[in-house]
Amino acid sequence: NAGVTQTPKFRILKIGQSMTLQCTQDMNHNYMYWYRQDPGMGLKLIYYSVGAGITDKGEVPNGYNVSRSTTEDFPLRLELAAPSQTSVYFCASTQLGGTDTQYFGPGTRLTVL
C-alpha cells in the first residue's frame, strides 16, 4: 500500500511550456484534491474530485486543468506556465466518513523561469 504518489518530485519549466503533474492513490478513495503551497503559506485548493468523471474548482483554479478518468488517478495540467505558478503542489485523497483523514502525497516542487 503506497498511499498517494506524485511524479515528478522536481521540475523546472520555461514560461509558456506545458506539463502534467501525476497523482495516483491505491486506497480506493473517492475524493481527491490538488493543492498548492507557496513559501510560508497554507495550502490553497486548486481542484477537487468526488469520483471518476466528476471534478470541480477550488479557490485558485485559473491556469490549471484536471481530469479524473479512473478512481486511482487525478492528473493536474498546466497549459501555459507562468512564474506565478512556481510553488509546491500536493495531491491528497480521502474517503469521507469516519475520521475524514486526508492523505497527502510527498509533493512536486515546480519552478517556472
Contacts with other proteins, residue ranges (CB under 8 A): 4, 31, 33, 35, 40-45, 48, 50, 58-59, 90, 92, 96, 99-107
Of 27 and 45, nearer to other proteins (C-beta) is 45
For the CB of residue 16, give the shortest distance to other proteins in the complex, in Å: 28
d(CA 42, CA 45): 10
For the CB of residue 30, give the shortest distance to other proteins in the complex, in Å: 10
Of 28 and 99, nearer to other proteins (C-beta) is 99
For the CB of residue 112, give the shortest distance to other proteins in the complex, in Å: 20
Of 4 and 112, nearer to other proteins (C-beta) is 4
Q: Is 50 helix (H, G, I), strand (E, B) or coil?
A: strand
d(CA 31, CA 72): 10
Q: Within the chain, what is the greatest distance between any pair of CA atoms?
A: 43
Query: Which contacts (CB < 8 Å, 24+ apart) does range 38-43 have?
Result: 38/87, 38/88, 43/90
